[in-house]
Amino acid sequence: MTMYAENNFDGTLAGWLRFTSPLKNKDKNYKYAVRRDILESWIRCREAKVSPTDNRIHLQLEYTSLQVMLRQNQELIRIAKPFMENLYKIVTGSGFVVCLTDVRGYIMEILGDKDTLLNPITVSFFQGASWSEEEAGTNAIGTALVIKRPIQVSGSEHYCRKHHCLTCSAAPILDAQGNLLGILDVSGESTAAHLHTLGMVVAAAEAIMAQLGIRKKNNELKVINHRLTNIFNTMSDGVILVDNNGVISELNPVAQKILDADLGKPEVKPGVQVESILGTKQTFIRRMLKCKESCLDVEIMLDTGQGLSHCLASGEPVTDEQGFVTGGVIILRPIKQIQSLVNRFIGHYGTLQFSDIIGESKAILEAIRIASLAATTMANVLLQGESGTGKEIFAQAIHNRSDRRAGPFIAVNCGAIPRELIGSELFGYGDGAFTGAKRGGKPGKFELACGGTLFLDEIGDMPLEQQVALLRVLQERKVNRIGCDKVIPIDVRVICATNKHLMKEVEKGTFRKDLYYRLDVISITIPPLRERPEDIVPLFNHFLEKLDKQSRRLVVSPEVIERLVRYSWPGNVRELQNVVERIVSLTEGQLITLANLPQDICNRQPASVAGIVANSPDDTRPESVCRREQRRVYLAENERQEIVALLSSHRGNVSLTAKSMGVSRNTLYRKMKQYAIYN
């Protein structure tokens, strides 16, 4: 805006002379006939003590600082250079220069005629020259830096007299947030001043800013595309992108691995029809592309170079702004991967090891030895033993010692499933296979156990009609769901268990002979607890320590140990565990007495500690075994009483007690743990 005096009018030069005169403050009411932006710039220059008559060449950046500035602004220079060249074509031969500065006013790039750059009028325009108001006074570059708006400064509007010969047109270059990036300027002799020059500079600056915005968006898109590409290539699912004609446009490495087509099929790569890979019977692809339908978890069977691959496929159409289908995304998930995830979350895995089997008898150690050898093979295992002997513990231990320990461990009790449902439970069923069937079908336990172990408990109770189906699955390593024609390959190790004598069941005609020989590759007999009495006390102590959650340090009386050893344990280890749980629950103090035992165990007649008595009528153990066990219990109790007495006399000092007994401290600690003695 032009400012006029109320009573007298002076031109710009007269105003400049008056403003820069030492007598300028004589008349404070004087109003200068200059634009507000120019007057405010003059005031800033005067306050900054800029000399209006200084004729020195402008401050120049040293070489190192100049290179740093150029490196930091290389993107701006690269984008602005073509627009500067277009401007220069317009002013070529006119004595004008086109320059680009940074946010401080230092010239980064300059274009001009050779004689123009040497002209005394434009001699201050060179790379690294400073055109800030503090250095050059009022000028288009420096003033545009301050006001962040386009401006033209001509002739005596410049604060420094040496620039009165110039006309300068400058426009700021801003980013999307309005932050200043630099200044674009065109300068020449003041006699050639024209308002159109400023318009050209403004247009060029706006074009540079638009290009900067496009470049920024392109960079952002590159980053997003890079991230999406990384996600696409690292997804655990197979992804296939197709166009609206069903032609593969892209697929990730997982999809390539899943499909892994053999030589008899087209190579799996972009440009191939997806139906030639997934099969023409997969109608969900056509529904996705033609009817714009999304499809979720469609079961498909792929014939790949490595055999049949069972997958779940999902499809999602891709549409444009008008809603027309332009392509689709197909997701492939291997069934094994899904089953592994499901099994992990619903607890289908084995946790028990051979170290969890408690026992020191020859019979149990022999069973552990055979089971350990069986774990290293893929042979079918048949575990035989009475109920409660720990057959599932052996099955889990074999699984966890084998190469399949990372896979699922699924247990099925064949005797607990209704005979009409056992087939669907083991082999699965298809959609609508029978009344009440789940929509879409359901996989059976053989499918869920793929890559792991299937434990068939109480195999002797399986109905004859299902034994035929089981035999076929074991022979062919394939399963057919009930009511479905799909053949699904399986990779399962089978461990069976029974409390029946299967050979006698074969003779009776309730169990198939061919299935028996298929299952009985490695047979392991787990002895009942009554045949290994030496394991009763270790098992009792183990369960007592495990179930005594209050850490009461319970002490067991000798009579209790004797009754436990003489009992026949028809329920085996499971019964013993239940008895210990009862004892822990009903014992009020720290001493476990006969009153804490169940009545049938407590009523057993104790053996004479001085000698050997005959077996009770219902004791079916060999006489020599029973006598040896009685003798062992007697000696153990004497040793226990000796330890208790010595600890009491030495006031609990373990070292003195061990020395009195002639044993090491470690040995004494072991015996104290064995006899449940807590110091």
**For 250-300, how does the pLDDT look when each residue is reduced to its tens digit (9 = 90+)?**
888 888 877 764 434 556 778 888 887 787 667 788 888 888 888 887 877
Average pLDDT over residues 203-210: 95
Opening angle at CA 173, ends 172 and 177, nearest 5: 115
How many residues would you count in the chain? 679
Instruction: Tell me, yes or no, whether 391 lies in a domain.
Output: yes
Instruction: Tell me, yes or no, whether 36 lies in a domain.
Output: no
Please give the helix or strand (H or E) that residue 101 lies within, else none.
strand 97-101
Rounded to whole angstroms, the Cα distance separating 10 from 16 reads 10
Last residue of a domain, one of 526, 546, 581: 526
Rounded to whole angstroms, the Cα distance separating 40 from 489 reads 87
Instruction: Tell me, yes or no, whether 50 lies in a domain.
Output: no
Return the minimum-mean-pLDDT range out of 135-139, 204-208, 232-236, 351-355: 232-236
Q: Which residue has the higher pLDDT, 634 or 279?
A: 279
Q: What is the pLDDT of residue 451?
A: 85
Distance from CA of residue 61 to its chain's centroid? 52
**Does one domain contain both 393 and 295?**
no
Residue 556 near residue 593 (C-beta atoms within 8 A): no
Q: What is the pLDDT of residue 679?
A: 64
Instruction: Tell me, yes or no, whether 49 lies in a domain.
Output: no
Kindly list the distances between the CA atom of residue 295 and the CA atoms of 103, 242, 336, 437, 554, in Å, as whole numbers in the listed order: 56, 15, 20, 21, 63
Q: What is the pLDDT of residue 635?
A: 67
On average, the pLDDT of the chain sits at: 83
**Does one domain contain both 135 and 162?**
yes
Largest CA distance in the chain: 144
Instruction: Tell me, yes or no, whether 598 lies in a domain.
Output: yes
Rounded to whole angstroms, the Cα distance separating 544 from 577 reads 9
CATH code (residue 67): 3.30.450.40
pLDDT tier, 609 (very low <50, low <70, confident <90, very high otherwise): very low
Rounded to whole angstroms, the Cα distance separating 564 from 540 reads 9
**Does one domain contain both 540 and 522?**
no
Instruction: Tell me, yes or no, whether 16 lies in a domain.
Output: no
Q: Which of 68, 151, 66, 149 is nearest to 110 (CA)?
A: 66
Last residue of a domain, one of 285, 302, 335: 335
pLDDT tier, 370 (very low <50, low <70, confident <90, very high otherwise): very high
Q: Crossing angle for the helix pair 654-661 and 623-649, nearest 10 degrees?
A: 130
- Does residue 160 register a pLDDT over 90? yes
Rounded to whole angstroms, the Cα distance separating 112 from 191 reads 18
Strands (E), 346-385: 381-384
Opening angle at CA 561, ends 559 and 565, nearest 5: 115
Sheet arrangement for strand 180-189: 107-112, 97-101, 180-189, 166-174, 151-154
**Does one domain contain both 606 and 670?**
yes
Last residue of a domain, one of 188, 217, 246: 217
Please give the helix or strand (H or E) that residue 19 lies within, else none.
helix 12-20
**Does one domain contain both 210 and 249?**
no
User: pLDDT tens, 526-574?
Assistant: 999 999 988 998 999 889 888 877 667 778 888 888 888 888 899 999 9
The token pair at 471 is 């035999």
**Does one domain contain both 414 and 560?**
no
Residue 650 CB coordination number (10 Å): 15
Q: What is the pLDDT of residue 343?
A: 62
Average pLDDT over residues 574-593: 87
Q: What is the pLDDT of residue 304?
A: 64
User: pLDDT tens, 290-309?
Assistant: 888 888 878 777 766 566 67
**Does one domain contain both 328 and 366?**
no
- Does residue 620 register a pLDDT over 60? no
CA dihedral over 584, 586, 589, 591, signed as positive or negative: negative
Residue 565 near residue 537 (C-beta atoms within 8 A): yes
Instruction: Tell me, yes or no, whether 28 lies in a domain.
Output: no
User: pLDDT tens, 24-65?
Assistant: 555 566 777 889 999 999 999 999 999 999 888 888 899 999
The token pair at 653 is 């000092």
Q: Locate tokens 């140990």: which residue?
A: 561
Instruction: Report which DSSP code applies to 327.
Output: E
**Does one domain contain both 211 and 68?**
yes
CATH code (residue 433): 3.40.50.300
Rounded to whole angstroms, the Cα distance separating 348 from 2 reads 87
CATH code (residue 609): 1.10.8.60
| Percentage of the chain modeled with pLDDT above 70 | 86
**Does one domain contain both 392 and 487?**
yes
**Does one domain contain both 354 and 429?**
yes
- The boundaries of the domain holding residue 277 are 235-335
Instruction: Report which DSSP code applies to 635.
Output: H
Amino acid found at 173? I
User: pLDDT tens, 416-453?
Assistant: 888 888 888 888 887 766 766 677 678 888 888 888 89
Q: Locate tokens 């604060």: which residue?
A: 159
Rounded to whole angstroms, the Cα distance separating 221 from 305 reads 38
Mind giving me the DSSP string for 140-179?
Answer: HHHHHHHH-S-EEEEGGGSSSGGGTTEEEEEEEEE-TTS-
Q: Count the domains in the chain.
A: 4
Instruction: Tell me, yes or no, whether 317 lies in a domain.
Output: yes
Tell me phi and psi for residue 436, to 5 degrees. 90, 0
Rounded to whole angstroms, the Cα distance separating 292 from 319 reads 9
CATH code (residue 263): 3.30.450.20
**Does one domain contain both 301 and 364?**
no
Q: What is the pLDDT of residue 76?
A: 95
**Does one domain contain both 144 and 277?**
no
